[in-house]
Structure 1
């Protein structure tokens, strides 16, 4: 008989194991019965150092080394991508208990060494039952060996003339089984099974099957078929029994292609028919081809969903698996701060074919494939929507073993918990249709870490420099990835004010725009707020659409010029500025022409300008006969009742009371004689004018003995009148109410102050209100 053997892919079987683990930590070992082998896995975290296995049978223990495994049907490997060690044991492995080729019992010792160098041994047993009947011929091409088994009653006329001749020539010498390895151009030399075993070949007879197993060396022959590398072993067994010579012609051929990376995925190719398997008169015809991963065949809908492709032609079979498709594994590395990785797939392939005798052969193949070490380009997508005013940055294409630990935003470091507590948001999300994941970073434009740049041309730019710190697990090896995002708005300008002149006030109006929050509205050095407006006597209305501000005449913040008895200019300035630098970006100084009634102005240059009606103090007094404490200081302008004085704070006999400057307007009295007029010092005939300046200006006064104020003073006109002019107290009170509101802890109305003074000063003969006495007497 001649038996051809070919490569096949292992099929996943629905076989239930019976496993006994003695003194084994829970979950440390897992076993699974597959189609034609037992799978044993152990977690590396449990194993500490690399674990090792021993096969156990009645004869003792047998260490499963690399060489011994390839001879006896064991494939052991460390799989760091999955985090475990893996042992695959053939049902026909050397030390497996075989019951009628139907039930197979395995016994192993798992030996581990912990971090302290202490060795521990654990017993593992498993029993697998055969769910799928054996095909007449079955071939398994493992990673480290080739194995073929066939039913002992399969017969079909085959074999070469040279093989029969050699078998007949040597069979007369002995009746025991011998083996010859046929190689092209070399003489067939018989040897015993024990001699073949020393070369690494194993021949085994079960109750109903013949088994042959071979490492890929030393006597295999390498060849190429349709561009694929094929390894062939051609043993011939023969024996003479009386007048009959029996011969078993085995040819084992395995495709050893490792696959290739074509830039898009992994590609593996094998001949559709392996011609070395065709021996003598036998032929070979493929009937079914299937593919899968990790020892499990997959149906067509699943392979299509994952993007796998199986292309079959008359000469070749080609399998393509896209990079990062489900069923494979990625492993990440860092080299020179470059994120690199490779992708690994454990291909499982099966082919069924028939020979000329109608005998079915099932071929199975295990083949790991991996890409070269690739530079992995992360994907940065700026998903920011300007209207949301939030930076939204997508960092994707990260493998499962890559974690984000820190983000540096414009130089400020945040861990993910810190960022989420600070109003930033970092979210890990899966990528659609892949095993990858991504991170989404959200940072509001107004956050303190965001850089803002504004140009006078109305260009507003928000920018964020991001430095991602990522680590490769489990070793936590870090690498860094940089990104920058910019959001830009055009036609962004500071608030625009409109000013309107009223009879006794100036009104300002500003329509709100979307970016007004970038600036603050100010009056002088102060931010315009509701509290400030109430304190200074402004009338302010502010809603979502506009800001309206009415500033009564003589309120704090006014400046005056060109004062005469008929009219004067009063101006008030409102501006917008940057909150941090206080740099003024836009302003409106509205100047209005007002009619002159009574005015007192204390300028920052230390000049007092006053217009007052002197006849209120002395009915019938002549304005052109008035003077100050220094009698040489006369009015610049007069009319029938009023005078206009303008004098420096250190001139005209002005009194200094702390930071209060006072002067008196005196009225000349005509003598009954022809003598010259006499200056009156009677308080009943004196008008006192007073300017109060902030304390902060004192240092300039004492340092230079000259006046330099940062802001105008607050002026009052204090006229002394007879008792009969009681009603004028209320008139004068209106003049000083603004001053009282500035320096008192609460805001008092004219009516409340009038009522209070009426109570405490019922018999006062002067119109003068002394603030010191007022505060001493107020409740």
Structure 2
């Protein structure tokens, strides 16, 4: 299979501008002795340039190129892990010091280049002792070469064809040195010397106790062939090594055969197969049978419990062996790409396979195979899981299925962008976590509901919190950006605005609201003003608020009341309290509580410019209700009894005077009076809320006016003011009666008020007094 720039053997022959020797960084290069080879792995940063290895021996330095590696027993590859490369060197590789086929010493130079195009050379040495005794015959199928070794004392293998012996004898009579003949179907054997075979890429040599043959993969070459065995392509090289020593002819069959199946992706995982019996290896051999088959990854065999845990399967039939490895199973690697802002990746497994054959004499043939397999480029979909627990009031979002080479660098939440550092400083939490039972990782994002969350009420009683997320990810090592969008919603049912209950009292209305978890979404208002402790204290409301409920007592005649159906017996007072959305200010619920109150003395200033007055006339000596009137004597009471009168009149009638005050509050004062005794009533309207002032005989305001003072029965504030001023106008001063019915002292107060009405005005005062 084609691994492009990510896997495979490569040649590096460039001439670099400068070279320096470096100390080996600790842990950057590791060496491990395996059954039949040395594994060298590197974690050095290559800065986008491929490293290279050189074999070192007594004869000098030998660059390990693609061709040289396949001929001399070296396999070098770049893995999909960033900055990770590995070299596998056969125990029989060309420049290895071999001591009795038991101890093997290796020496290499690893050469890298940094961002400044300066080479660094690291020396790597290792010694391996044979961990497993040699089998009589061993075949190794590497990625870039095939190798077979047999015991050195073997003079020939049983089952060699008679024609092979005849050809060998004919050619061996001419020389006593070793000759090589490559057998091919339908062709005559042609002898050549080992050096001539070496020029073709084939290597023969004899160790202390073994005869070794190595061949690069060369499909279609004149010395090798590719054949189909049980549906699988198999590459075969069939050399016969012949030597005549006096009257003895030594003939060694060094046939080597390897499955070339590259595996396939079936949508669920990678599948690889090989013939159960490789007929080129076993043909003609007496009683050779399959003895044991094992599988693993990365050059290590795995026992059955581990393969089962990872989901691997090994299916053996009479004709084929099939191995299946699920996508993303442990032991493989994933590599990520971005194409058109689509997240792509492939999955790579470095399969390791071992097959032991046994003949009827107990002679063992051991086959080992290394085979990388990868999926095609796949569009990979990340997984988003909304793990939000509503009672925690925090969005918890899991972004998973990320490969090791993908990092999260920023998030955009409902249009607000945060880097990882900014997010954690802003009260958001982003945590990277490993994904269970895999090499993947994930990120968990936690966003409190009171942060950048959108709130929506799609239907009555339903509250939705929504979060739009734009993840900024980068693919390492090239820092290629990738953007991933996700949206999550949290819903709450039975979410309603606060509900008040109203109760009528003798001189007030009481409102009560039980607290609920979502009260913070609304604000309670009176008119346009938010109900706060300051507003309540300013207006004389009595408010009590604890963890369970809110209680508000609103005394009669407080700001916010409206009055209707006023007569001498009773009137209707209404007070409204509202709930509105905190952000949109949309009114969601309201309660206008109307109560009947007993009429004593009342002054009401309506938004339509109508003043309604109920007063006790007999409080003034000599006054008679039937003779009372407004300044315009034709304006008589609408109702009266023995002591009280009720007037209701428009503010542009009955002699009413209107004056605009040029003080900072820009108020309008409407003044009227009844009778010969000074009885002054005033209505005050804020100028900002006045829409029309008697235009076309119409008066309109956005709120009722409020009473400035009423008759001679004034408030405590007015009493204190009058007492202070009386020392200037009266001798002796006015002394108010302690009796609730005493009115005599306050007659002087009325006189004082009348006198004040005729005093010169200050620069920001105005009045209109009607007597």
Q: 1:595 aligns with which of 581, 594, 598?
A: 598
1:162 corresponds to: 163
The whole-number CA distance in structure 2 between the counterparts of 1:290 and 1:560 is 97
Aligned-pair CA distance for 1:422: 3.5
Q: Secondary structure at the match of 2:255?
A: strand
Does the 8 Å CA contact 1:160/1:279 hold for their aligned counterparts? no
1:208 corresponds to: 209
Gap change, CA 1:551 and 1:288, over 3 Å in 2: same
Moved more, 69-78 or 238-247: 238-247
Aligned-pair CA distance for 1:639: 2.4
Moved more, 325-334 or 702-711: 702-711
Across the two proteins, how many residue pairs are aligned to each other?
712
The whole-number CA distance in structure 2 between the counterparts of 1:334 and 1:203 is 47
Aligned-pair CA distance for 1:653: 4.3
State the Cα deviation string for residues 397-424 of structure 1 (Å, max 9, x = none): 2212222233333333233343344444
The whole-number CA distance in structure 2 between the counterparts of 1:514 and 1:82 is 51
1:395 corresponds to: 399
Q: 1:541 aligns with which of 536, 544, 561?
A: 544
Gap change, CA 1:85 and 1:663, over 3 Å in 2: closer
Gap change, CA 1:448 and 1:634, over 3 Å in 2: farther
Gap change, CA 1:697 and 1:382, over 3 Å in 2: closer
2:116 corresponds to: 116
Moved more, 475-484 or 117-126: 117-126
After superposition, residues 553-632 of structure 1 pair within 5 angstroms as 553-616=556-619, 618-632=620-634
**Structure 2 length-normalised TM:** 0.85
Q: Secondary structure at the match of 1:326?
A: coil
After superposition, residues 105-184 of structure 1 pair within 5 angstroms as 105-154=105-154, 156-184=157-185
Gap change, CA 1:716 and 1:62, over 3 Å in 2: closer
Moved more, 405-414 or 183-192: 405-414
Does the 8 Å CA contact 1:339/1:479 hold for their aligned counterparts? yes
Residue 686 (structure 1) aligned with residue 678 (structure 2): yes
2:714 corresponds to: 732
1:476 corresponds to: 479
1:303 corresponds to: 307
After superposition, residues 714-753 of structure 1 pair within 5 angstroms as 714-719=706-711, 732-733=714-715
The whole-number CA distance in structure 1 between the counterparts of 2:230 and 2:166 is 32
1:315 corresponds to: 319
Does the 8 Å CA contact 1:629/1:663 hold for their aligned counterparts? no
Aligned-pair CA distance for 1:26: 4.0
Residue 287 (structure 1) aligned with residue 291 (structure 2): yes
State the Cα deviation string for residues 154-211 of structure 1 (Å, max 9, x = none): 3553311111010111111111110100000000011111111111111111111111
The whole-number CA distance in structure 2 between the counterparts of 1:265 and 1:571 is 76
Structure 2 gap ranges (5+) = 1-20, 662-666, 735-744, 763-771
Does the 8 Å CA contact 1:48/1:112 hold for their aligned counterparts? no
Does the 8 Å CA contact 1:342/1:371 hold for their aligned counterparts? yes
The whole-number CA distance in structure 1 between the counterparts of 2:368 and 2:723 is 110
The whole-number CA distance in structure 2 between the counterparts of 1:580 and 1:281 is 89
State the Cα deviation string for residues 484-519 of structure 1 (Å, max 9, x = none): 333344454433333332222222333444444332
Aligned-pair CA distance for 1:706: 7.2
The whole-number CA distance in structure 1 between the counterparts of 2:380 and 2:48 is 30
1:93 corresponds to: 93
State the Cα deviation string for residues 224-265 of structure 1 (Å, max 9, x = none): 222222111110111222222111112111112111222222
Does the 8 Å CA contact 1:179/1:192 hold for their aligned counterparts? yes
After superposition, residues 652-671 of structure 1 pair within 5 angstroms as 652-654=655-657, 656=659, 658=661, 659=667, 661=669, 663=671, 665-668=673-676
After superposition, residues 177-326 of structure 1 pair within 5 angstroms as 177-217=178-218, 218=221, 219-326=223-330
Does the 8 Å CA contact 1:733/1:754 hold for their aligned counterparts? no
The whole-number CA distance in structure 2 between the counterparts of 1:406 and 1:420 is 11
**Structure 1 length-normalised TM:** 0.84
Aligned-pair CA distance for 1:468: 2.5
Q: 2:431 aligns with which of 427, 430, 434?
A: 427
Tell me the C-alpha RMSD between the 2 structures. 3.1
The whole-number CA distance in structure 2 between the counterparts of 1:481 and 1:554 is 61
Residue 328 (structure 1) aligned with residue 320 (structure 2): no
The whole-number CA distance in structure 2 between the counterparts of 1:581 and 1:92 is 81
State the Cα deviation string for residues 747-769 of structure 1 (Å, max 9, x = none): xxx9x999999999992364369
Does the 8 Å CA contact 1:273/1:315 hold for their aligned counterparts? yes
The whole-number CA distance in structure 1 between the counterparts of 2:700 and 2:625 is 31
Greater RCO (CA < 8 Å, at least 6 residues apart): 1
Residue 502 (structure 1) aligned with residue 505 (structure 2): yes
Aligned-pair CA distance for 1:387: 4.7
State the Cα deviation string for residues 254-289 of structure 1 (Å, max 9, x = none): 112111222222122122221111254533122222
State the Cα deviation string for residues 691-723 of structure 1 (Å, max 9, x = none): 233353579669999754332222144545xxx
The whole-number CA distance in structure 1 between the counterparts of 2:482 and 2:518 is 38
Q: Secondary structure at the match of 1:693?
A: strand
2:412 corresponds to: 408
Residue 463 (structure 1) aligned with residue 466 (structure 2): yes
Gap change, CA 1:489 and 1:104, over 3 Å in 2: closer
Does the 8 Å CA contact 1:576/1:585 hold for their aligned counterparts? yes
Q: Secondary structure at the match of 2:160?
A: coil
Residue 485 (structure 1) aligned with residue 488 (structure 2): yes
The whole-number CA distance in structure 2 between the counterparts of 1:59 and 1:186 is 40
Q: Secondary structure at the match of 1:238?
A: strand
2:638 corresponds to: 636
After superposition, residues 16-35 of structure 1 pair within 5 angstroms as 23-35=23-35
2:17 corresponds to: none
The whole-number CA distance in structure 1 between the counterparts of 2:658 and 2:455 is 54
The whole-number CA distance in structure 2 between the counterparts of 1:582 and 1:759 is 52
Gap change, CA 1:259 and 1:687, over 3 Å in 2: same
1:728 corresponds to: none
Does the 8 Å CA contact 2:455/2:463 hold for their aligned counterparts? no
The whole-number CA distance in structure 2 between the counterparts of 1:759 and 1:73 is 123
Residue 696 (structure 1) aligned with residue 675 (structure 2): no
The whole-number CA distance in structure 2 between the counterparts of 1:188 and 1:644 is 139
Gap change, CA 1:246 and 1:593, over 3 Å in 2: same
Gap change, CA 1:170 and 1:697, over 3 Å in 2: closer
Aligned-pair CA distance for 1:635: 3.2
The whole-number CA distance in structure 2 between the counterparts of 1:458 and 1:545 is 21
The whole-number CA distance in structure 2 between the counterparts of 1:69 and 1:703 is 106
Q: 1:373 aligns with which of 377, 393, 399?
A: 377
1:13 corresponds to: none
State the Cα deviation string for residues 125-170 of structure 1 (Å, max 9, x = none): 3222223222222221111111111211235533111110101111
Does the 8 Å CA contact 1:454/1:461 hold for their aligned counterparts? yes
Gap change, CA 1:622 and 1:339, over 3 Å in 2: same
Aligned-pair CA distance for 1:116: 2.8
Q: Secondary structure at the match of 1:531?
A: helix
The whole-number CA distance in structure 1 between the counterparts of 2:724 and 2:224 is 121
1:341 corresponds to: 345
1:526 corresponds to: 529
Moved more, 265-274 or 493-502: 493-502
The whole-number CA distance in structure 2 between the counterparts of 1:507 and 1:336 is 66
